[in-house]
C-alpha cells in the first residue's frame, strides 16, 4: 500500500491494481489519472479534508473504492471526469463512528461514458452527502445506489442528483436511495432530484426510509439471536452488497471483514 502523506499528490495508475492510504495532518489534494483499466483502493486513515480529482481515460474500465476509516470529522470534495467509452465503477464505504461531509460529483464528459455509483454508510454521527452524476454529452449513463443504516444518535442526509444537460440525448439517469433506522429518534433524510434538460432520455428515482421489520426481528430472536446480534446481522446484509462491485478477490475479502468487524463494534 502506497502512503499519501503530503499536502498534494499526483498519481498516474499504470498497474491493474493500486492501494493508496491517506495519512495527513490536515488537508490532501489528490489528483489521479489512469493509463489503462484498473482497480484503485483508497483508504482514508487520517485527514481533516480531502480534495480528490480523478480522470478516467477513454476506452477504459476503472473501479474506485474509497473507504473512510478516519477517526475524526472529515470534509471531502470528490470530482470524477469520465471520457469517451469509459466506465467508472465508484464505491464509497463510510462505516466508522465519525461524522463526515462529502460532496461527490461525477461528470460524464464524452459520448458513451458510464458511471455505476454505490454507497454504503453506517451512520453513528452526522453524515451529510451531496452526490450528483451529470450527463454532459449524448449517450451517457449514470446509475446510483445509496444504502444507509442509521444507529443511535445518527443523522443521515442524502442529496442525490441525476442531471442530463441539453443536447445529451440518448442518456440514462437512474438512482435508488434507501435508509434503515433502528429507532424512531434516529433521523434519515433523502432528497432525490432529476434535472432533465433533454427529451430523448431515460430517467427514474426511488427512495425508501424505514425502520427495522418487527416480524423479522422477532423471528431472528426466536432462533436464539439477541437484539444486538440480530441488528448486526441485518446491517451486514444491508451493506455488504458493495463487495460484489469490487473485481479484486483479495480486496473483496478485506472489505467484508472490515464491514463485519465495524458492524459488530458499533451496533
The answer on pLDDT for 185 being more than 80 is: no
In a domain, 191, yes or no: yes
Instruction: Calculate mean pLDDT across residues 190-195.
Output: 96
> Each residue of 154-163: b (16+ CB within 10 Å) or e?
bbbbbbbbbb
Write out the three cell numbers for 25. Answer: 495532518
In a domain, 170, yes or no: yes
> Measured between alpha carbons, how far is 60 from 84 in angstroms, rounded to an integer?
9
> Measured between alpha carbons, how far is 11 from 30 in angstroms, rounded to an integer?
8
Instruction: Calculate mean pLDDT across residues 222-249.
Output: 82
Average pLDDT of the chain, as a whole number: 92
* Residue whose C-alpha cell reads 465508484 in the numeric block: 90
In a domain, 232, yes or no: no
In a domain, 190, yes or no: yes
In a domain, 266, yes or no: no
Q: Say what the pTM is.
A: 0.93
Containing H/E element for 214? helix 214-222
Residue 262: predicted pLDDT:
85
List CB contacts of 219: < 8 A, sequence separation 6 or more: none
Residue 238 — very low, low, confident or very high, per pLDDT cuts 50/70/90? Answer: confident
Residue 233: predicted pLDDT:
83
> Measured between alpha carbons, how far is 50 from 230 in angstroms, rounded to an integer?
35
Positive or negative, the Cα torsion across 263, 43, 175, 240? negative
In a domain, 162, yes or no: yes
CB 156 within 8 A of CB 123: yes
Residue 240 to residues 40, 118, 130, 211, 245, Cα–Cα distance (Å): 19, 11, 22, 19, 10
In a domain, 227, yes or no: no
> Measured between alpha carbons, how far is 78 from 101 in angstroms, rounded to an integer?
11
| Number of domains comprising the chain | 1
> Measured between alpha carbons, how far is 10 from 54 in angstroms, rounded to an integer?
10
Backbone angles phi, psi at 96, to 5 degrees: -95, 180
> Measured between alpha carbons, how far is 50 from 44 in angstroms, rounded to an integer?
9
Residue 25: predicted pLDDT:
92
**Percent of the chain having pLDDT more than 70?**
99
Domain coverage including residue 136: 2-212
In a domain, 238, yes or no: no
> Measured between alpha carbons, how far is 115 from 88 in angstroms, rounded to an integer?
5
Q: What is the pLDDT of residues 115-168, one digit of tens each?
A: 999 999 999 889 999 999 999 999 999 999 999 999 888 899 999 999 999 999
Distance of CA 39 to the CA centre of its chain: 15
Residue 229: predicted pLDDT:
80
Amino acid at each position: 500500500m502506497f502512503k499519501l502523506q503530503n499536502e498534494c499528490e499526483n498519481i498516474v495508475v499504470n498497474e491493474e491494481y493500486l492501494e493508496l492510504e491517506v495519512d495527513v495532518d490536515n488537508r490532501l489534494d489528490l489528483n489521479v489519472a489512469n493509463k489503462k483499466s484498473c482497480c484503485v483502493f483508497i483508504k482514508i486513515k487520517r485527514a481533516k479534508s480531502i480534495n480528490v480529482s480523478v480522470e478516467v481515460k477513454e476506452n477504459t474500465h476503472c473501479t474506485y473504492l474509497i473507504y473512510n476509516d478516519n477517526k475524526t470529522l472529515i470534509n471531502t470534495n470528490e470530482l470524477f471526469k469520465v471520457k469517451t467509452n469509459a466506465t467508472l465503477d465508484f464505491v464509497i464505504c463510510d462505516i466508522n463512528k465519525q461524522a463526515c461531509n462529502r460532496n461527490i460529483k461525477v461528470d460524464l464528459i464524452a459520448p458513451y461514458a458510464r458511471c455505476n455509483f454505490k454507497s454504503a454508510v453506517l451512520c453513528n454521527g452526522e453524515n451529510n452527502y451531496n452526490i450528483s452524476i451529470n450527463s454532459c454529452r449524448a449517450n451517457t449513463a449514470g446509475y446510483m445506489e445509496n444504502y444507509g443504516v442509521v444507529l443511535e444518535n445518527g443523522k443521515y442526509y442524502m442529496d442525490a442528483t441525476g442531471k442530463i444537460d441539453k443536447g445529451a440525448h440518448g442518456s440514462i439517469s437512474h438512482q435508488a436511495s434507501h435508509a434503515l433506522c433502528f429507532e424512531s429518534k434516529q433521523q434519515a433524510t433523502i432528497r432525490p432530484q432529476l434535472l432533465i434538460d433533454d427529451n430523448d432520455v431515460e430517467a427514474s428515482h426511488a427512495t425508501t426510509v424505514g425502520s427495522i421489520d418487527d416480524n423479522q426481528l422477532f423471528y431472528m430472536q426466536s432462533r436464539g439471536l439477541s437484539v444486538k446480534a440480530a441488528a448486526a446481522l441485518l446491517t451486514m446484509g444491508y451493506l455488504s452488497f458493495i463487495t460484489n462491485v469490487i473485481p479484486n478477490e483479495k480486496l473483496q475479502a478485506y472489505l467484508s471483514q472490515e464491514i463485519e468487524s465495524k458492524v459488530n463494534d458499533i451496533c
